[in-house]
A = this chain, B = another copy of it.
Amino acid sequence: MSSPLNIGIAGLGTVGTGVLRLLTEKPALLAERSGRRLQVTAVAARDRHRDRGIAIAGYRWHDDPVGLARDPGVDVVVELIGGSDGPARALCEAAIAAGKPVVTANKALLALHGTALALAAEAKGLSLGFEAAVAGGIPIVKALREGLAANSFTRVFGILNGTCNYILTQMQETRRDFNAVLAEAQSLGYAEADPSFDVDGVDAAHKLTLLTSLAFNCPVDFAAVYVEGIRHVSALDIAYADDLGYRIKLLAIARQTPHGIEQRVQPCMIDADSPIAHVDGVFNAVVAEGDFVDRTMFSGRGAGAGPTASAVVADLLDIAAGRKAPTFGVPATALRPLAHSPMQRHVGPYYVRLMVSDRPGVIADVAAVLRDQKISIESLLQRGRAAPGQAVPVVMITHEAEEAAMVRALSQIGKLSAVMEPPRMIRIEQL
């Protein structure tokens, strides 16, 4: 057996201690599977004295993560600090400068600086592992980069944020509204006190940026992602989705279109009979569609100490075993910028819900607006009757339409005197 792989871990929060626990719990299994012993030699964190429920006295301590990167007793650096800049970035840059491979779970860092870091690492022949950064325990980075590497991809999409999926699942199951479920999720620790990073789609967008580069071999381009969160998803829309044979999920989608790559994070309706519609609670899933393999799906826990540690250590095992792959599937120098298709050019079917006063002619007015925008209605649903002056929901599913036309139509429909609330629209993702 070769010499041990000496590991330095920066950041000892939930994930960092999970990685430490995994590495110390089963050294023999890991050595057998990789051919080398994996041993932690040094750690860096903010507070040396915090009780983490795990002994850290045996590891060399660094107050400064950059010091850990330069520690001659460290062969590989694990970055679990978080944040797109600051100490996390400095640590990764220092490790690469010192000729050491890096393993990170940091989606924000890579979504913004992934291409630069990959270029730097690959110029020195170093691995930059980020399995833990996309979908927690699901080995989707390896799947796209190696397992499915014979394919040209047409679409990659997934449920990439467990908090949103938990909230939408709870809304589906209990028929409560977003705010009530969010408050409960916060009290249970499934959502942060400031939930905007999750519920507004930013976290999923970071992850989508990485998936897009892996699938389409283009530089990371976070700014090109259209992002919409789940705050405006209502219990009423969830109930209608159910009636119509759909489920609402926050999807992150990268798709090849005639106008370029479309990247978007948004609540979507999907066929309730599809496997991904049944990926519930905090679980994540990624669907990859390739020209030879057709559709594949990968699901599992997208966060948490155990699953994230599983992914971090998988990257370490690759490094220990000497297995290398280019960071984003092709050498970073070969990543080619692709045209990106803006949201206005998106084409697909739509779900539209209007709250209208129940009087003759309303549907005719709405239908005329849609006709003028060349949007055709596949089905229309009006349930119950309202007392005069009361709003009644009218729900429509359209055939494929262009986003720009839909936005214009909804703007005009919103101005009709019989339409009593701003129209709600949810995109339908076809599987």
Identify the A interface with B (CB < 8 A).
Answer: 18, 22, 26, 29-30, 32-35, 131, 137-139, 142-143, 146-152, 217, 273-280, 285, 290-301, 304, 306-307, 309-311, 313-314, 317-318, 321-326, 329-331, 334
In the complex, what residues of B have CB within 8 A of residue A274's CB? 278
Say yes or no: A307 contacts B293, CB within 8 Å: yes
A18 to B274, CA, bound (A): 28
23 contacts between A and B (CB under 8 A): A32-B331, A33-B329, A137-B293, A138-B296, A139-B142, A139-B296, A143-B143, A147-B147, A147-B314, A149-B317, A150-B313, A275-B275, A278-B278, A291-B306, A292-B310, A292-B313, A293-B311, A294-B306, A295-B300, A297-B300, A321-B324, A321-B325, A322-B324
Which label, helix, strand, loop or mixed, suits the secondary structure of the A interface? Answer: mixed
Of the candidates A18, A30, A306, the one having the most CB atoms from chain B within 10 angstroms of its own CB is: A306
A310 with B150: in contact, given A324-B321, A334-B32 (CB under 8 Å)? yes
A149 to B318, CA, bound (A): 10
A290 to B25, CA, bound (A): 14
Say yes or no: A146 contacts B294, CB within 8 Å: no
Copies in the complex: 2
Say yes or no: A292 contacts B306, CB within 8 Å: yes
Shortest distance between the CB of A154 and any CB in chain B (Å): 13
Nearest B residue to A323, CB-CB: B323
A330 to B317, CA, bound (A): 12
In the complex, what residues of B have CB within 8 A of residue A32's CB? 217, 330-331, 334
A94 to B409, CA, bound (A): 69
Say yes or no: B298 contacts A293, CB within 8 Å: no
Say yes or no: A137 contacts B324, CB within 8 Å: no
Which of B278, B292, B300 is in CB contact (< 8 Å) with A309? Answer: B292
